[in-house]
Amino acid sequence: MGHGWEGVVLKLMRGKDFEFTVTGAEDVTEHFRRVHFTDGGMLALTGVHPTMWVRVWFENGGKPHQRAYTLVDADPAAGTFSLEFALHAGCASDWARKAQPGDKVEATLQGTGFAAPEPLPERLFVVGDPASLPAINSLLDALPQIPATIWFETSHDSDENLPLRLDSDHHEVRRVPRRDAGAQLVGEVKSALPGLLGDASGAYVWIACDTTTTRALTSYVRKDLALPKDRVNALGYWRAA
């Protein structure tokens, strides 16, 4: 499958193409599926780092369509990893629902990177949802010693059972049902965060929700709470229909 103009752009930006092979899949919930892969030699070439992601290509009405996914439990020695799919309507979810051992999918590695904040923060604040769950877990694994408060937006009852990698001694999770296109989550974070923040210079805020929610909260923590740019990491993971 050709990658169209997006593939050309990624090539110009030094993107590297790989082919992954499915080795298995499991339903975590009826709305969340984990698919296991061999990496086509990628990890031996690139190594692995926290929140590492790839652009995976799917066919959508005869045209190429790419979506970004964070690697889960990547093992460079074995050349394996998993991807997790928050299932909804769309070609990527349709592919994941049907994925079976032996299926192949093309991917491009471009633009990924991670640098732990320096100096390390005294407190970590995370805002996310099922789409960003793999990245949240990767971040918590990378900074295990740092106390963290996580606001996790849920859309389905079964989202309460999604596997956040929490340490009961260091991590607190606040699950927030998705209401009013994310406004409920924005309101709860704005209500609680100032009282938890303490010295802003010792905090690190990581936000990855739908684009509108991410923008609203990023503006809030930067402008209203005056967190420095290098203490905020924010990325809109999806667009609400």
Give the start-to-end residue ranges of the domains of the chain: 4-109, 123-234
**Contact (CB, 8 A) for 68 and 55:** yes
**Phi/psi of residue 86, nearest 5 degrees:** -80, 110
pLDDT in tens, 47-56: 998 899 999 9
Helix (H) or strand (E) holding 26, with range, is strand 16-29
**Phi/psi of residue 167, nearest 5 degrees:** -105, 115
CATH for 4-109, options being 3.30.1320.10, 3.10.450.50, 2.30.30.40, 2.40.30.10: 2.40.30.10
Instruction: Tell whether domain 123-234 is in CATH 3.40.50.80.
Output: yes
pLDDT of 12 strictly over 50 = no
**Contact (CB, 8 A) for 66 and 3:** yes
pLDDT in tens, 32-85: 999 999 999 999 998 998 899 999 999 998 899 999 999 999 999 999 999 999
End-to-end CA distance of the chain: 27
